[in-house]
Chain A
Amino acid sequence: MANDNTKNRKAILVTPEVCIGCRACQVACKSWNQLPGIKTKNNGTYQNPPDLASAAFNIIRYSEVPSEKNPVRWLFVSRRCMHCDDAGCMKICPAPGALYRTKEGAVAFDRDKCIGCKLCVNACPFDVPRYDADGKVTKCHLCFDRIGAGMQPACVKTCPTGALRFGDRAELVSTAKKDGFGTIYGEEDLGGLGTVYAFKEEPKLYGMTDDPAIPSSVVFWHTVLKPFAVAGLGGVVAAAAIHYLAVGPHKEEEEV
Protein backbone atom coordinates (compact mmCIF):
# COMPACT_ATOMS: atom_id res chain seq x y z
CA MET A 1 0.00 0.00 0.00
CA ALA A 2 2.54 2.56 -1.07
CA ASN A 3 1.43 6.14 -0.93
CA ASP A 4 1.47 7.93 -4.25
CA ASN A 5 2.02 11.20 -2.44
CA THR A 6 5.13 9.94 -0.69
CA LYS A 7 7.30 8.89 -3.61
CA ASN A 8 10.17 10.86 -2.11
CA ARG A 9 9.58 9.22 1.20
CA LYS A 10 12.01 10.21 3.91
CA ALA A 11 13.06 7.91 6.71
CA ILE A 12 15.34 7.49 9.68
CA LEU A 13 17.75 4.59 9.46
CA VAL A 14 18.72 3.23 12.87
CA THR A 15 21.92 1.20 13.03
CA PRO A 16 21.96 -0.15 16.59
CA GLU A 17 25.39 -1.72 16.09
CA VAL A 18 27.05 1.72 16.17
CA CYS A 19 24.82 3.20 18.89
CA ILE A 20 26.81 3.98 22.03
CA GLY A 21 23.75 4.62 24.19
CA CYS A 22 24.64 8.25 24.91
CA ARG A 23 21.00 9.37 24.76
CA ALA A 24 21.89 12.63 23.04
CA CYS A 25 18.95 11.87 20.71
CA GLN A 26 16.60 11.89 23.69
CA VAL A 27 17.96 15.23 24.88
CA ALA A 28 17.88 16.82 21.43
CA CYS A 29 14.29 15.68 20.93
CA LYS A 30 13.22 17.16 24.25
CA SER A 31 15.05 20.37 23.47
CA TRP A 32 13.58 20.87 20.00
CA ASN A 33 10.06 19.86 21.01
CA GLN A 34 10.22 21.73 24.35
CA LEU A 35 9.23 18.66 26.33
CA PRO A 36 9.45 18.77 30.13
CA GLY A 37 11.61 16.40 32.15
CA ILE A 38 10.03 13.32 33.68
CA LYS A 39 10.64 12.25 37.25
CA THR A 40 11.62 8.59 37.15
CA LYS A 41 13.00 6.03 39.59
CA ASN A 42 16.16 3.98 39.26
CA ASN A 43 14.93 0.57 38.29
CA GLY A 44 18.29 -1.06 37.78
CA THR A 45 18.93 -0.03 34.18
CA TYR A 46 20.32 2.93 32.31
CA GLN A 47 17.15 2.96 30.23
CA ASN A 48 15.52 6.17 31.30
CA PRO A 49 12.71 7.12 31.05
CA PRO A 50 11.66 3.48 31.17
CA ASP A 51 9.37 3.77 28.14
CA LEU A 52 8.05 6.27 25.61
CA ALA A 53 5.97 8.96 27.32
CA SER A 54 4.00 12.07 26.45
CA ALA A 55 7.24 13.98 27.10
CA ALA A 56 9.56 11.37 25.60
CA PHE A 57 9.08 10.88 21.85
CA ASN A 58 12.15 8.67 21.58
CA ILE A 59 14.12 6.54 24.02
CA ILE A 60 17.07 4.21 23.81
CA ARG A 61 16.16 0.71 24.87
CA TYR A 62 19.00 -1.00 26.74
CA SER A 63 19.02 -4.77 26.66
CA GLU A 64 21.53 -6.96 28.45
CA VAL A 65 21.89 -10.00 26.22
CA PRO A 66 25.02 -11.95 27.19
CA SER A 67 26.36 -14.34 24.59
CA GLU A 68 29.01 -17.02 24.86
CA LYS A 69 31.59 -14.78 23.22
CA ASN A 70 30.61 -11.69 25.14
CA PRO A 71 29.31 -12.16 28.69
CA VAL A 72 28.58 -8.45 29.14
CA ARG A 73 26.89 -7.74 25.83
CA TRP A 74 24.76 -4.62 26.13
CA LEU A 75 22.52 -3.70 23.18
CA PHE A 76 21.19 -0.21 22.46
CA VAL A 77 18.36 0.59 20.10
CA SER A 78 16.53 3.83 19.48
CA ARG A 79 12.79 3.45 19.76
CA ARG A 80 10.22 5.90 18.47
CA CYS A 81 7.28 6.14 16.07
CA MET A 82 7.81 3.88 13.07
CA HIS A 83 5.81 6.13 10.69
CA CYS A 84 4.18 3.08 9.10
CA ASP A 85 3.01 3.41 5.54
CA ASP A 86 -0.10 1.46 6.52
CA ALA A 87 -0.57 3.08 9.94
CA GLY A 88 -2.98 1.49 12.43
CA CYS A 89 -3.30 4.75 14.35
CA MET A 90 -4.42 6.68 11.26
CA LYS A 91 -6.75 3.87 10.23
CA ILE A 92 -8.70 3.81 13.50
CA CYS A 93 -8.64 7.57 14.24
CA PRO A 94 -12.18 9.03 14.09
CA ALA A 95 -11.13 12.70 13.89
CA PRO A 96 -10.02 13.99 10.47
CA GLY A 97 -6.58 15.59 10.52
CA ALA A 98 -5.75 14.56 14.09
CA LEU A 99 -3.18 12.12 12.71
CA TYR A 100 -2.03 12.98 9.23
CA ARG A 101 0.57 12.06 6.63
CA THR A 102 3.21 14.68 5.94
CA LYS A 103 4.51 15.13 2.41
CA GLU A 104 7.70 13.35 3.49
CA GLY A 105 5.64 10.27 4.44
CA ALA A 106 5.74 10.71 8.20
CA VAL A 107 2.74 10.35 10.53
CA ALA A 108 2.29 13.65 12.38
CA PHE A 109 -0.45 14.83 14.74
CA ASP A 110 -2.52 17.96 15.29
CA ARG A 111 -3.38 18.47 18.96
CA ASP A 112 -6.29 20.76 18.16
CA LYS A 113 -7.97 18.15 16.01
CA CYS A 114 -7.36 15.23 18.40
CA ILE A 115 -10.55 14.39 20.32
CA GLY A 116 -8.75 12.31 22.95
CA CYS A 117 -10.50 8.99 22.25
CA LYS A 118 -7.21 7.05 22.63
CA LEU A 119 -8.15 4.48 19.97
CA CYS A 120 -4.82 5.06 18.20
CA VAL A 121 -2.97 3.82 21.29
CA ASN A 122 -4.68 0.46 20.92
CA ALA A 123 -4.34 0.12 17.15
CA CYS A 124 -0.59 0.83 17.05
CA PRO A 125 1.47 -2.34 16.42
CA PHE A 126 4.43 -0.74 18.24
CA ASP A 127 2.78 0.80 21.33
CA VAL A 128 3.91 4.28 20.36
CA PRO A 129 1.21 6.98 20.78
CA ARG A 130 0.96 8.59 24.20
CA TYR A 131 -1.46 11.05 25.71
CA ASP A 132 -0.44 14.25 27.46
CA ALA A 133 -2.03 15.78 30.55
CA ASP A 134 -4.67 17.49 28.37
CA GLY A 135 -5.73 14.16 26.90
CA LYS A 136 -4.22 14.86 23.48
CA VAL A 137 -2.09 12.50 21.40
CA THR A 138 1.67 13.02 21.25
CA LYS A 139 4.48 11.08 19.61
CA CYS A 140 7.48 11.47 17.32
CA HIS A 141 6.48 13.42 14.20
CA LEU A 142 9.82 13.03 12.38
CA CYS A 143 10.48 16.73 13.11
CA PHE A 144 8.23 17.66 10.17
CA ASP A 145 8.86 21.31 11.06
CA ARG A 146 12.63 20.86 10.69
CA ILE A 147 12.70 18.57 7.65
CA GLY A 148 10.19 20.81 5.88
CA ALA A 149 12.80 23.55 6.19
CA GLY A 150 15.58 21.35 4.82
CA MET A 151 17.05 20.35 8.19
CA GLN A 152 17.52 16.93 9.75
CA PRO A 153 15.36 15.71 12.64
CA ALA A 154 16.79 16.89 15.98
CA CYS A 155 17.77 13.39 17.10
CA VAL A 156 19.64 12.65 13.86
CA LYS A 157 21.36 16.04 13.90
CA THR A 158 22.81 15.36 17.33
CA CYS A 159 23.73 11.67 16.96
CA PRO A 160 27.54 11.50 17.22
CA THR A 161 28.06 8.03 15.71
CA GLY A 162 25.77 7.77 12.72
CA ALA A 163 23.51 5.31 14.51
CA LEU A 164 20.69 7.59 13.38
CA ARG A 165 20.69 8.70 9.78
CA PHE A 166 18.04 10.65 7.91
CA GLY A 167 17.39 10.80 4.20
CA ASP A 168 15.64 9.32 1.22
CA ARG A 169 14.14 6.05 2.40
CA ALA A 170 15.04 3.97 -0.64
CA GLU A 171 18.62 5.24 -0.58
CA LEU A 172 19.04 4.51 3.13
CA VAL A 173 17.76 0.96 2.68
CA SER A 174 20.03 0.21 -0.28
CA THR A 175 23.05 1.71 1.47
CA ALA A 176 22.42 -0.43 4.55
CA LYS A 177 22.18 -3.53 2.38
CA LYS A 178 25.40 -2.63 0.60
CA ASP A 179 27.07 -2.17 3.98
CA GLY A 180 26.34 -5.81 4.70
CA PHE A 181 23.42 -5.62 7.09
CA GLY A 182 21.47 -8.83 6.61
CA THR A 183 18.22 -7.76 8.19
CA ILE A 184 16.52 -4.50 7.32
CA TYR A 185 13.74 -4.33 9.90
CA GLY A 186 10.73 -2.50 8.54
CA GLU A 187 11.59 -2.69 4.87
CA GLU A 188 8.29 -4.40 4.05
CA ASP A 189 6.34 -4.48 7.32
CA LEU A 190 3.11 -2.46 7.33
CA GLY A 191 3.71 -1.23 3.82
CA GLY A 192 7.23 -0.24 4.79
CA LEU A 193 8.19 1.63 7.94
CA GLY A 194 9.47 5.20 8.03
CA THR A 195 11.91 4.19 10.75
CA VAL A 196 14.02 1.33 9.41
CA TYR A 197 16.61 -0.64 11.32
CA ALA A 198 19.79 -2.23 10.01
CA PHE A 199 20.72 -5.35 11.95
CA LYS A 200 23.38 -7.98 11.58
CA GLU A 201 21.82 -10.04 14.35
CA GLU A 202 18.30 -11.14 15.16
CA PRO A 203 16.10 -8.02 15.67
CA LYS A 204 14.47 -9.94 18.51
CA LEU A 205 17.68 -9.68 20.55
CA TYR A 206 17.14 -5.93 20.58
CA GLY A 207 13.56 -6.31 21.71
CA MET A 208 12.01 -5.67 18.28
CA THR A 209 8.50 -7.02 17.66
CA ASP A 210 8.36 -10.10 15.41
CA ASP A 211 6.01 -9.66 12.44
CA PRO A 212 4.38 -6.40 13.54
CA ALA A 213 0.79 -6.04 12.31
CA ILE A 214 -2.29 -3.91 12.83
CA PRO A 215 -4.65 -5.81 15.22
CA SER A 216 -6.85 -8.15 13.16
CA SER A 217 -10.06 -6.71 14.65
CA VAL A 218 -9.09 -3.29 13.31
CA VAL A 219 -8.34 -4.74 9.87
CA PHE A 220 -11.73 -6.56 9.87
CA TRP A 221 -13.49 -3.37 10.94
CA HIS A 222 -11.78 -1.38 8.23
CA THR A 223 -12.23 -3.83 5.35
CA VAL A 224 -15.64 -5.35 6.20
CA LEU A 225 -17.66 -3.34 8.70
CA LYS A 226 -17.00 0.12 7.28
CA PRO A 227 -18.15 -0.75 3.73
CA PHE A 228 -21.07 -2.69 5.24
CA ALA A 229 -22.16 0.39 7.19
CA VAL A 230 -22.67 2.19 3.89
CA ALA A 231 -23.96 -0.69 1.77
CA GLY A 232 -26.29 -1.83 4.58
CA LEU A 233 -27.98 1.53 5.04
CA GLY A 234 -28.16 2.11 1.30
CA GLY A 235 -29.55 -1.38 0.76
CA VAL A 236 -32.25 -0.98 3.40
CA VAL A 237 -33.35 2.41 2.06
CA ALA A 238 -33.42 0.98 -1.49
CA ALA A 239 -35.37 -2.07 -0.30
CA ALA A 240 -37.93 0.17 1.42
CA ALA A 241 -38.34 2.22 -1.76
CA ILE A 242 -38.78 -0.91 -3.87
CA HIS A 243 -41.26 -2.31 -1.35
CA TYR A 244 -43.25 0.91 -1.43
CA LEU A 245 -43.44 0.85 -5.21
CA ALA A 246 -43.92 -2.89 -5.72
CA VAL A 247 -46.12 -3.87 -2.78
CA GLY A 248 -47.33 -0.51 -1.58
CA PRO A 249 -48.64 0.64 1.76
CA HIS A 250 -50.89 -1.50 3.87
CA LYS A 251 -54.61 -1.05 3.18
CA GLU A 252 -57.04 -1.75 5.98
CA GLU A 253 -59.97 -3.03 3.86
CA GLU A 254 -57.95 -5.83 2.28
CA GLU A 255 -57.61 -7.52 5.62
CA VAL A 256 -60.35 -9.86 6.81
Chain B
Amino acid sequence: MTEMVRKSSGDEILNHWVLAVSCILLIISGYGFLFQTEAIGSLFGGFNTMKTVHNWVGVVFILSLLFSMRHSFKDALEYDEDDRQWFKVAGGYLSHKVKVPPMGKYNPGQKLYYLAILGAGIAIALSGFAIWLVQGNQTLILISHLVHNVSFCIFIIAVPVHIYLSTLANPGTFQIMVNGTLPLEVAKKRYPKWMKAAGKM
Protein backbone atom coordinates (compact mmCIF):
# COMPACT_ATOMS: atom_id res chain seq x y z
CA MET B 1 0.00 0.00 0.00
CA THR B 2 1.18 3.54 -0.81
CA GLU B 3 2.56 5.37 2.18
CA MET B 4 0.55 8.53 2.82
CA VAL B 5 1.60 11.84 4.39
CA ARG B 6 -0.85 13.97 6.36
CA LYS B 7 -0.88 17.59 5.17
CA SER B 8 -4.05 18.82 6.87
CA SER B 9 -5.48 17.88 10.26
CA GLY B 10 -9.13 16.99 10.79
CA ASP B 11 -10.07 20.36 12.26
CA GLU B 12 -8.27 22.14 9.43
CA ILE B 13 -10.25 20.18 6.82
CA LEU B 14 -13.56 20.82 8.60
CA ASN B 15 -12.78 24.51 9.05
CA HIS B 16 -11.77 24.90 5.43
CA TRP B 17 -15.12 23.44 4.34
CA VAL B 18 -17.00 25.83 6.62
CA LEU B 19 -14.93 28.70 5.25
CA ALA B 20 -15.42 27.63 1.63
CA VAL B 21 -19.17 27.07 1.84
CA SER B 22 -19.81 30.28 3.78
CA CYS B 23 -17.60 32.27 1.41
CA ILE B 24 -19.41 31.00 -1.69
CA LEU B 25 -22.84 31.63 -0.13
CA LEU B 26 -21.73 35.18 0.72
CA ILE B 27 -20.41 35.81 -2.79
CA ILE B 28 -23.62 34.53 -4.42
CA SER B 29 -25.91 36.54 -2.15
CA GLY B 30 -23.51 39.49 -2.48
CA TYR B 31 -23.97 39.47 -6.26
CA GLY B 32 -27.74 39.32 -5.64
CA PHE B 33 -27.59 42.52 -3.58
CA LEU B 34 -25.09 44.23 -5.88
CA PHE B 35 -27.26 43.85 -8.99
CA GLN B 36 -30.70 43.44 -7.36
CA THR B 37 -30.90 40.02 -9.04
CA GLU B 38 -34.40 38.63 -8.49
CA ALA B 39 -33.31 35.08 -9.40
CA ILE B 40 -30.64 35.01 -6.68
CA GLY B 41 -33.09 36.49 -4.18
CA SER B 42 -35.58 33.73 -4.99
CA LEU B 43 -32.84 31.14 -4.44
CA PHE B 44 -32.61 32.32 -0.83
CA GLY B 45 -36.38 32.72 -0.37
CA GLY B 46 -36.60 36.45 -1.02
CA PHE B 47 -34.39 39.41 -0.29
CA ASN B 48 -35.44 39.75 3.34
CA THR B 49 -34.36 36.18 4.08
CA MET B 50 -31.25 36.62 1.96
CA LYS B 51 -30.24 39.58 4.10
CA THR B 52 -30.56 37.49 7.28
CA VAL B 53 -28.63 34.63 5.67
CA HIS B 54 -25.93 37.00 4.38
CA ASN B 55 -25.45 38.62 7.79
CA TRP B 56 -25.28 35.43 9.83
CA VAL B 57 -23.25 33.44 7.31
CA GLY B 58 -20.91 36.41 7.47
CA VAL B 59 -20.52 35.78 11.20
CA VAL B 60 -19.74 32.11 10.51
CA PHE B 61 -17.27 33.13 7.80
CA ILE B 62 -15.25 35.55 9.93
CA LEU B 63 -15.12 33.14 12.90
CA SER B 64 -13.93 30.40 10.56
CA LEU B 65 -11.39 32.74 8.96
CA LEU B 66 -9.99 33.76 12.35
CA PHE B 67 -9.83 30.07 13.36
CA SER B 68 -7.86 29.32 10.19
CA MET B 69 -5.03 31.54 11.48
CA ARG B 70 -4.23 28.66 13.82
CA HIS B 71 -3.29 26.53 10.80
CA SER B 72 -1.99 28.96 8.22
CA PHE B 73 -0.93 32.29 9.71
CA LYS B 74 2.59 31.34 10.87
CA ASP B 75 3.56 29.71 7.55
CA ALA B 76 2.14 32.65 5.60
CA LEU B 77 4.59 35.06 7.24
CA GLU B 78 7.79 33.13 6.47
CA TYR B 79 9.56 33.60 3.14
CA ASP B 80 13.04 32.48 2.07
CA GLU B 81 15.38 32.77 -0.93
CA ASP B 82 13.63 29.93 -2.79
CA ASP B 83 10.35 31.82 -2.42
CA ARG B 84 11.92 34.84 -4.08
CA GLN B 85 13.18 32.63 -6.92
CA TRP B 86 9.67 31.15 -7.16
CA PHE B 87 8.29 34.52 -8.25
CA LYS B 88 10.91 34.78 -11.04
CA VAL B 89 9.51 31.65 -12.68
CA ALA B 90 5.92 32.63 -11.82
CA GLY B 91 5.69 29.49 -9.73
CA GLY B 92 5.94 27.33 -12.84
CA TYR B 93 2.28 28.09 -13.45
CA LEU B 94 2.83 29.63 -16.87
CA SER B 95 5.04 26.86 -18.26
CA HIS B 96 5.85 23.32 -17.21
CA LYS B 97 9.33 23.63 -18.74
CA VAL B 98 10.85 26.03 -16.20
CA LYS B 99 12.65 24.72 -13.13
CA VAL B 100 10.74 25.64 -9.99
CA PRO B 101 12.85 25.99 -6.81
CA PRO B 102 12.19 23.47 -4.03
CA MET B 103 9.20 24.44 -1.90
CA GLY B 104 8.16 23.92 1.69
CA LYS B 105 4.65 23.02 2.79
CA TYR B 106 3.19 26.06 0.99
CA ASN B 107 4.49 28.10 -1.91
CA PRO B 108 4.65 31.91 -1.66
CA GLY B 109 1.64 32.28 -3.95
CA GLN B 110 -0.44 30.29 -1.51
CA LYS B 111 0.96 32.25 1.42
CA LEU B 112 0.23 35.62 -0.15
CA TYR B 113 -3.21 34.38 -1.16
CA TYR B 114 -3.86 33.50 2.46
CA LEU B 115 -2.77 36.95 3.67
CA ALA B 116 -4.92 38.65 1.01
CA ILE B 117 -7.97 36.64 2.04
CA LEU B 118 -7.24 37.25 5.70
CA GLY B 119 -6.89 41.01 5.17
CA ALA B 120 -9.86 41.34 2.83
CA GLY B 121 -11.88 39.00 5.05
CA ILE B 122 -11.31 41.07 8.17
CA ALA B 123 -12.05 44.28 6.22
CA ILE B 124 -15.25 42.88 4.68
CA ALA B 125 -16.42 41.56 8.06
CA LEU B 126 -15.77 44.78 9.98
CA SER B 127 -17.42 46.92 7.30
CA GLY B 128 -20.28 44.44 7.10
CA PHE B 129 -20.88 44.68 10.84
CA ALA B 130 -20.89 48.48 10.55
CA ILE B 131 -23.49 48.43 7.75
CA TRP B 132 -25.53 45.88 9.68
CA LEU B 133 -25.42 47.39 13.16
CA VAL B 134 -24.41 51.07 13.10
CA GLN B 135 -27.03 53.77 12.63
CA GLY B 136 -26.82 57.50 12.26
CA ASN B 137 -23.19 57.79 11.19
CA GLN B 138 -23.20 58.59 7.49
CA THR B 139 -19.41 58.86 7.09
CA LEU B 140 -18.81 55.49 8.73
CA ILE B 141 -21.53 53.75 6.71
CA LEU B 142 -20.37 55.20 3.39
CA ILE B 143 -16.74 54.24 4.09
CA SER B 144 -17.89 50.77 5.17
CA HIS B 145 -19.97 50.42 2.02
CA LEU B 146 -16.90 51.24 -0.08
CA VAL B 147 -14.58 48.95 1.91
CA HIS B 148 -17.14 46.13 1.73
CA ASN B 149 -17.31 46.41 -2.06
CA VAL B 150 -13.56 46.80 -2.64
CA SER B 151 -12.95 43.69 -0.49
CA PHE B 152 -15.66 41.92 -2.46
CA CYS B 153 -13.71 42.62 -5.66
CA ILE B 154 -10.61 41.05 -4.07
CA PHE B 155 -12.63 37.95 -3.20
CA ILE B 156 -14.20 37.48 -6.61
CA ILE B 157 -10.73 37.65 -8.21
CA ALA B 158 -8.78 35.59 -5.67
CA VAL B 159 -11.26 32.84 -4.81
CA PRO B 160 -11.84 31.49 -8.36
CA VAL B 161 -8.06 31.43 -8.92
CA HIS B 162 -7.65 29.49 -5.67
CA ILE B 163 -10.37 27.01 -6.67
CA TYR B 164 -8.92 26.51 -10.15
CA LEU B 165 -5.36 25.99 -8.93
CA SER B 166 -6.45 23.51 -6.28
CA THR B 167 -8.63 21.41 -8.59
CA LEU B 168 -8.26 21.40 -12.37
CA ALA B 169 -4.80 22.93 -12.58
CA ASN B 170 -3.19 20.61 -10.03
CA PRO B 171 -4.80 17.17 -10.09
CA GLY B 172 -4.57 15.38 -6.77
CA THR B 173 -4.64 18.56 -4.69
CA PHE B 174 -8.36 18.54 -4.00
CA GLN B 175 -8.19 15.24 -2.10
CA ILE B 176 -6.14 17.02 0.59
CA MET B 177 -9.27 19.07 1.31
CA VAL B 178 -11.20 15.80 1.65
CA ASN B 179 -8.97 13.43 3.60
CA GLY B 180 -5.97 15.61 4.41
CA THR B 181 -3.40 13.22 2.99
CA LEU B 182 -1.35 12.66 -0.13
CA PRO B 183 1.09 9.92 -1.17
CA LEU B 184 4.59 10.26 0.27
CA GLU B 185 6.18 10.02 -3.17
CA VAL B 186 4.10 12.97 -4.43
CA ALA B 187 4.82 15.00 -1.30
CA LYS B 188 8.57 14.47 -1.78
CA LYS B 189 8.36 15.97 -5.26
CA ARG B 190 6.04 18.84 -4.40
CA TYR B 191 7.20 19.82 -0.94
CA PRO B 192 10.83 18.62 -0.68
CA LYS B 193 11.82 21.12 2.03
CA TRP B 194 8.83 20.23 4.16
CA MET B 195 9.54 16.51 3.77
CA LYS B 196 13.20 17.04 4.66
CA ALA B 197 12.20 19.00 7.75
CA ALA B 198 9.84 16.18 8.69
CA GLY B 199 12.67 13.64 8.26
CA LYS B 200 10.94 11.76 5.44
CA MET B 201 13.72 12.30 2.87
Contact = CB atoms under 8 A, between A and B. Distances in A.
Contact of A218 (B41, B145, B161): B145
Contacts of B41: 95-96
A116 B51 contact: yes
A237 B160 contact: yes
A149 interface: no
B60 to A, nearest CB: 20
Contacts of B38: 96
Interface in A86-115: 92-96, 98, 113, 115
Most buried by A among B93, B100, B143, B168: B168
Given A96-B47, A248-B96, A232 B145 contact: no
18 contacts: A94-B32, A94-B33, A95-B47, A96-B37, A115-B47, A115-B48, A119-B141, A122-B138, A217-B142, A218-B142, A225-B149, A232-B153, A236-B160, A236-B161, A243-B93, A248-B96, A249-B170, A254-B97
Contacts of A252: 172, 186, 189-190
Contacts of A237: 160
> Top 7 nearest A-B pairs by Cβ distance?
A94-B33, A96-B36, A240-B164, A115-B51, A95-B47, A122-B141, A217-B146
B34 interface: yes
A1 interface: no
A143 B4 CA distance: 72
Given A115-B48, A228-B153, A244-B168, A254 B96 contact: yes
B34 A226 contact: yes
Interface of A: 92-96, 98, 113, 115-119, 121-123, 215, 217-218, 220-221, 225-226, 228-229, 232-233, 236-237, 240, 243-244, 247-252, 254-256
B156 A232 contact: yes
Given A94-B34, A96-B37, A243-B93, 6 more contacts: A96-B47, A122-B138, A218-B145, A228-B153, A243-B164, A244-B169
A54 B186 CA distance: 65
Contact of B135 (A118, A215, A225): A118
B88 to A, nearest CB: 17
